[in-house]
Each structure stands twice: as structure tokens, then as C-alpha cells.
Structure 1
Amino acid sequence: MFGKAGVDKFAGVAWTPSATGAPVLDGALTWVDCRVSAVHDAGDHHMVVGSVVELGPVRDAQPLLFYRGRYAVHAELDTRGWSGEVLDNLLTAQRQSEWS
């Protein structure tokens, strides 16, 4: 939906505005609200650096992962050959409440 051309990418999608007005999708496991600090050319893309304004609460649920061209949730990783240190690090990363 968001990768398609069109005027209103959020039509029919439930969301609420963050402190900066950015859309926070209903049901997201968490979110980060940022103000743009810098934009750098990166080939045929742009790299955007943001300053964090607000962090959303973290819901206790399984994330949908996209890795090597496929989608899966954690329970499917071993059966689909996705186990490994990289994915383990993603799934065990510290939560906002654990940051020092």
C-alpha cells in the first residue's frame, strides 16, 4: 500500500498523529518520532538523520520480519531456515525501558 503511487497513502489505514504530526499506525508494536536533522545524498536515495522526539510504548507481541525476500514471525524462523545470530540479535535487542 505505501509503496504504490497515489495521493493519500493513509486512506483506509487507522492511525493517530504523533507529537510532530507524523502518523503512528494503529497496532504498531512500537514507534519512534523524529525531527529531521540532516539529509544526505546516497546514490539514487537519500539518507535521513533524525533527532528522536518521542518513543512509543512497546507492545508484547511477535514482530513481522522481512529477511532475504521473505516475511515471517519468530515462530517460523527455524522451520524456514532463518535461524542465526543476526536474527537473534534483532529479537533480543534491549527495549526502551532497559536503556541506561
Structure 2
Amino acid sequence: MSETTIDAAEFRKVLGTYPTGVCVITALDEGKPAGMVVGSFTSVSLDPPLVGFFPDKSSTSWPLIEKAGHFCVNVMASDQGPVCKAVTAKGEAKFVGVEYAISDHDLPVIADSIAAIECKLYSVTEAGDHWFVLGQVLRMETVREDEPMLFHRGRYGSFAEKM
């Protein structure tokens, strides 16, 4: 069997045709919020209740979240673009203007997100240039009924029903 070389730009272009939801993964790092935006979140198992996401190995936020040992998946609504922008900022600018509350599990839960899923770190597996992170769900809630934020072809947007 021969290996085929896949062009990275073409890979991104083709896989970019598949829309994904947008989540912000949060934790506390020495009392300060740490977070990252991901489009790779998925449910994995009902028994035990597991969810997963794929942080890039070059992420500077993932090691802080991993060190915390638990995290919150904040499912973003279509009107939360400014939250995502703030969380992707570097250094002291990260989380500026982002409203959140600290949960009973000592996790930042972003205000007005569609849902919050609090997890303890279950496993981390190498997956090419990313990590495959599994979290065991400790608590979850739907915060509001609204349109989700989607990522498609390099842009953020929302769902529009066309039936």
C-alpha cells in the first residue's frame, strides 16, 4: 500500500466545506480564566458520558487547561462573536469584556452561552498535530434557546433554515 501525499491547503479547503459548531473551552489557571475557541467539539459516549475536542499541539492555552484537570465547554450562540474574539486574544487582553461566573466545579462559565458542559479530564491522546481530549461530563445545562455559532469555509455565521 502506498501513502498518498495530501496538500495541506487543499485538505483545509475540502474539510472547510463541512460546517462545525463553535465552543469556548475554559478553565482556571491560578485563579485567572484560560480559554480557547474550538470547532472540533463532539459527543463521544453516553456510558460513561464523554465529550471530546481536538486542540492544536502549538496552542498556548491548552497546556493551562490541561494543567487544571477539568474544563467547561461553552457552546457559543451566533451573537457571541465578540466573546470568541476576546478569547483568542493574547496575554492580558484575553477575556477582556467577557462575562462569566465561576461554577461549583471552579470553572468559568461564559454568560449567555447556549449550553455549558463541565468536565473532568478523562484522557489525552496524540492525534497528528493535535491532541484528542476526552472529558467526562460532571454537569451540564442548556442556558438559552438560540441559534448556534457555526464555522464554515473560514468564516463565522449562523444556521438558516431553508425548507
TM-score w.r.t. the length of structure 1 is: 0.64
Amino-acid identity (%): 35
CA spacing shift, 1:59–1:10, aligned 2, 3 Å: same
Alignment-derived partner of residue 100 in structure 2: 15
1:34-73 correspondence to structure 2 within 5 Å: 34-73=119-158
- In structure 2, the residue matched to 1:24 is 109
Aligned Cα RMSD in Å? 2.2
Structure showing the higher strand proportion among its residues = 2
Q: Report the Cα distance in structure 2 between the residues aligned to 1:8 and 1:37, rounded to whole angstroms.
A: 30
Q: TM-score, structure 2 length as denominator?
A: 0.42
Q: Distance in 2 between matches of 1:54 and 1:8?
A: 29
- Residues 15-62 of structure 1 show CA distances to partners (whole Å, capped at 9, x for unaligned) of 011232121110101111000011112222222110000011241111
Give the unaligned 5+ runs of structure 1. 84-100
Give the aligned length.
78
Change (3 A) 1:70 1:11: closer
Contact conserved, 2:115 with 2:143, CA < 8 A, in 1? yes
Question: What is the identity, as a one-letter code, of the residue corresponding to 1:9?
Answer: K
